[in-house]
Chain A
Amino acid sequence: MNTKEREIAEKLRALTVAFGQQLPARLKEIRQLWLALCHEPTKHNHDNVHRISHSLAGTSATFGFTNLSVAARELENILARIEPPYDISPPLSTEIEEKLAVMDQLLTECQTD
């Protein structure tokens, strides 16, 4: 590895740490957007929670948080199954709550490591 590569690798490590520190806020945002969808089942609210789940799935994979990425991708896929008029009654809502709980658990594990 040359000097430039080492420098980039170091920057990437710093970015990964910073990303990890943002994870609690990101998960909190997903839960808030999910609650907003439960409270008001509209396309706008559905798009918001779907988009941020997709975003977390992609970024967490890029930063090496593989398990969290898989869980976020599964959440994204469950959310993608919700169609107008955005009926979020069980079992779909239960699946989503369970997935959010898994993501919270994974976050706790990340913070413990």
Chain B
Amino acid sequence: MAELTKILYAEDEPDIQVIVRMALADLGGFTLFICNNGQEVIDNAEIFSPDLVLLDVMMPGLDGPTALSELRKKEPFKHTPVIFMTAKAQNHEIKQYIELGAADIIIKPFDPMTLAVTVKEIFDRAQAIE
């Protein structure tokens, strides 16, 4: 089973970027590459080669769902687990994100002290399904 070491993360809000960096890099020990929008995810995915991608849903320019669709067009990322983070998630939206190919959804606000564990659990579950 693959190990989770590198996470590509996209979020346009600097304050939340700082908290996620603390939660996933400082506390979780993962190598984190932070993007400000979906386009940066597409531009950097092949360079960074992440084990998992964490995407905010609403971002200026290329949003999370569009970034996932674009990512899936690239051969190396056809099966890379992708998690959405969102504060606005109705049931039909969650269903839509899963149908798009998301491994899971993390609802904001999240607990920074347990975020790394949550992300790791989702990654392991996605690997088991693969």
Q: How many A-B residue pairs have CB under 8 A?
A: 46
Q: Give Cα distance in the complex from A51 to B37, angstroms.
A: 14
- Among A12, A19, A55, the residue within 8 A (CB) of B22 is A12
Q: How far is the CB of A89 from chain B (nearest CB, A)?
A: 27
Q: Give Cα distance in the complex from A55 to B108, angstroms.
A: 12
Let me know if B27 and A63 touch, CB within 8 A: no
Let me know if B108 and A4 touch, CB within 8 A: no
The interface size of chain A toward B, counting residues with CB under 8 Å, comes to: 20
Let me know if A57 and B87 touch, CB within 8 A: yes
Q: Is A41 an interface residue (CB 8 A)?
A: no
Q: What 0/1 pattern do residues 48 to 88 of A give for CB contact below 8 A with B?
A: 00010011011101111000010001000000000000000
Q: Is A9 an interface residue (CB 8 A)?
A: yes
Question: Within 8 Å CB of B110, what residues of A?
Answer: 62
Let me know if B22 and A11 touch, CB within 8 A: yes
Where the two chains meet, the residues of A that have a C-beta atom closer than 8 Å to any C-beta of B are 4-5, 8-9, 11-12, 15, 19, 51, 54-55, 57-59, 61-64, 69, 73
